[in-house]
Amino acid sequence: MLPELRTEIPGPRSRELAARLRRVESRNVTMLTAGWPVFWERAEGVNVWDADGNRFLDFTAGFGVAGLGHSATPVRDALTTQAGRLLHAMGDVHPAESKVELCEMLGELTFGRWGAGRGKTILGNSGSDAIEAALKTALLHSGKPGVLVFEGAYHGLGYGALEASALEFFREPFAAQLGRFAVSVPYPYCYRCPFGHGGGFALEGGEFPNCSSGCLEELQKRIRAEITRREIGAILVEPVQGRGGDIVPPRDFLRLLRQICDEEKILLIADEIYTGFNRTGRLFACEHSEVAPDIICLGKALTSGFPLSACVGRADVMDAWPESTGEALHTSTFLGNPLGCAMAVASLREHAKPETAAKVRAAGRHLLGVLQKISSPRIGHVRGVGLLVGLEMVREDGSPDPETAGRCVTSALREGILLLSGGRHGNVISLSPPFALAPEEADFLAGFLQKL
């Protein structure tokens, strides 16, 4: 359904709530400026209603969480049933049955499906938590503290995850408190090739760039040099870089990392917190390259709307953790919360259906197709895979244009379209809509962007 606006945006109720929030919430959490934000009241499918009764078309799926749609019926039903029985259990002491069921499903949908043995899971409460569980696992398994990461990486903002994230904006204010275990190398960002090749790349299969310029060889040299120089126990990578700018690397990138990890006997950790659960048209993005990581980190769409995450590893890797003798080394009060586990189990049943991935591929093809047809000097590059799509806004000289991206996001809100901007320069319009996005809804967005 296309947007339906009843008030100016934001309306009076949203403005009043913003004024109240300003008095009680710390600065630097919610951006409160003229024209921003609207307060969400309810949501269904691809639609969000705000506190003033305006209906928006959501191209964010609420940070990629609601791939199955806002308030997806099977997930809501599972939550309601679970809520009638048990809200909370003792996650690492006396857990609920739903934790068992979820860990079984996660192990089966990952390492089981990949023919890589059994998977074992550590649950967490946020994506950042899952990354930190993976970092700790890597140290226990390899005995080596170093972790190789990629420029532009976003792995969350807890101090372990932040040290592994390579976006200066988030790191700089806290640099004095960060550990020093991560080292970053360039991510294959074909539109702005870090090795200076740039331009002229072909699109193979419509989605993954086909790098023929040898950048992967240069990257390989850089990675091997770092591994020789430091005690690296793991490579942590987003198979498609999300908040760094929806950057789709060459298909061989992940295969190269797998090969290096095998040869150097280090762990490959895939951060699929954003890309996991069909966002890219496959259950997991690493499947596009037919690569199985040693550990996969999951969150966001795992539950379709509850703060719960998972670090799933091959059983022999996860068995680096000692048996618990009563005091778990890595846990938290809400670990394996029964509401979240029940929602995750219901979500995974939907995600495991082949028609879910097929729906994403079809909707993604249409969305990418209509966006690539837009002719605007302000849009330098449109890229994406499945329903993870980025539009890179540029100035006349081709340099990143965060101002236009920001203006686009705020003017879209006034047209009833929910967008986010991101990327390492803040100049990428980032799209991750619910999977039920209809062709006319994609066309509506394209019509708006065409007017820029």
Ligand X SMILES: Cc1ncc(COP(=O)(O)O)c(C=O)c1O
Q: Which stretch binds ligand X (CB under 6 A): 150-158, 218-226, 348-356, 374-382?
A: 150-158
Four-point Cα dihedral 359, 364, 366, 370, nearest 10: 160
Number of residues located near ligand X, criterion CB under 6 A: 14
CB 280, min distance to ligand X, A: 12
Interface map 326-365 toward ligand X (x if CB under 6 A): ----------------------------------------
SS3 category, 160: helix
Asked if 243 is part of the footprint of ligand X (rule: CB under 6 A), the reply reads yes
Q: Is 244 in the site for ligand X (CB under 6 A)?
A: no
57 φ, ψ (degrees, to nearest 5): -100, 120
**280 lies in the site for ligand X, by CB under 6 A:** no
Per CB under 6 A, the list member of 14, 82, 98, 126 interacting with ligand X is 126
Q: Which residues contact 38 (CB under 8 A, 6 or more apart)?
A: 9, 10, 11, 14, 50, 51, 52, 54, 56, 413
Q: How far is the CB of 390 from ligand X (least distance, A)?
A: 13
In angstroms, what is the minimal distance from the CB of 125 to ligand X?
8
Q: Which residues pair with 147 in a beta bridge?
A: 182, 234
Interatomic CA distance for residues 130 and 38, integer angstroms: 30
Distances from the Cα of 149 to the Cα of 237, 307, 369, 400, angstroms: 6, 25, 32, 23
Residue among 129 and 207 whose Cβ is closer to ligand X: 129
Residue nearest to ligand X (CB): 127
Q: Does 238 bind ligand X (CB under 6 A)?
A: yes
CA distances from 339 to 35, 66, 100, 251, 430 (A): 35, 16, 13, 37, 30
- Which residue, 271 or 441, has its beta carbon nearer to ligand X? 271
Nearest approach, Cβ of 301 to ligand X (angstroms)?
11
Rule CB under 6 A: choose which of 271, 392, 401, 415 binds ligand X.
Answer: 271
* Token pair for 85: 């029985």
Least Cβ distance, residue 409 to ligand X (angstroms): 17
SS3 content of the chain, % helix, strand, coil (to 5): 40, 20, 40
CB 142 → ligand X: shortest distance, Å?
Answer: 21
For the bound state, the minimum distance from the C-beta of residue 238 to ligand X, rounded and expressed in Å, comes to: 5
Is residue 245 close enough to count as binding ligand X by CB under 6 A?
no
Reply yes or no: is the peptide bond before residue 186 cis, omega within 30 of 0: no
First to last CA, the chain: 23
Q: Which of 56, 274, 284, 321 binds ligand X (CB under 6 A)?
A: 274
Choices 127-135, 221-229, 311-319, 372-380 (CB under 6 A): range interacting with ligand X: 127-135
Residue 155 near ligand X by CB under 6 A: yes
The number of angstroms, rounded, from the C-alpha of 207 to the middle of its chain's C-alpha atoms is 18
At closest approach, how far in Å is the CB of 273 from ligand X? 4
Q: Does 299 bind ligand X (CB under 6 A)?
A: yes
| Residue placing its CB nearer to ligand X in the complex, 149 or 449 | 149
Interaxial angle between packed helices 73-83 and 338-351, expressed in degrees from 0 to 180 and rounded to the nearest 10: 150
128 near ligand X, judged by CB under 6 A:
yes
Spatial CB neighbours of 331, under 8 Å, sequence gap ≥ 6: 91, 92
3-state class (DSSP) for residue 6 = coil
Is the bond into 37 cis (omega within 30 degrees of 0)? Answer: yes
Residue 154 in the binding site for ligand X (CB under 6 A): yes
Q: Residues interacting with ligand X, by CB under 6 A?
A: 126-128, 131, 154-156, 238, 242-243, 271, 273-274, 299
